[in-house]
Structure 1
């Protein structure tokens, strides 16, 4: 279970409190809520990039943690509409070669590209395609591909980028 003080720190974006807790017990960062959220999930939901930075410096494994909805912190950030934080987490995943964390699909089969596309975050959508072209191949439970979604939303620039992906 997640320490209540860590939950408060992640919710409010207080990296000082989080670092203080981790100094005394580094494993505290791995605690989860009943929904399986880590402190990085919680901070991603609220868009606290500074907190995320400091948490990742202390424990990079948080990037790969999956909650009860099948979401990594990257997916949590994009579903919460925090595009700059999503870009930030995407860079961390790429730098650490965590393709699995980038490609992860939630319980409905949506990946970060599905969510970015659905939420009309075109720049992020294009960034995700460039960073991890394999995102374009995933189908969600409704059998929707990112390409289908781009066509339905009339996003010719996104469609063009998707057509450049091999296969």
Structure 2
């Protein structure tokens, strides 16, 4: 490439720096485009799944309720308590898995906090039953696929999600109590 030096003489310059700069700019823009596309795909794959249509809900709800009756019997047997279970939100996923929160009694008879559970073959699985990462991954899948709601209730785990906790806990926003 020939470049004039203020119109007086011609200097021969190499194309290499221009080509390398162009490749760097195109590579950076391409990497940015692929990153944005990959991030969009990741968000779509891991976002909350679409709610069922009324026809789908009407078709699947009886099956989910029948599944819930069996799961509830296993849950009551597993927690082994005389008083009725205090349930938080309970729902069924598209795959037929039942997930939710339950407040049971501990081994000494005292109330525990709202504990998350999901089912495997209609048997409840709690956090202490499996490895932490496996439980969190399964719970994440449960949370993003609330297909049929079986019992309305709190989604807050811990003591403040219980009936007693609702009377004793209060909401705080920016350090100030909110009613």
TM-score interval w.r.t. the shorter chain? under 0.3
Bigger strand fraction: 2
TM-score by length of 2: 0.25
Bigger helix fraction: 1
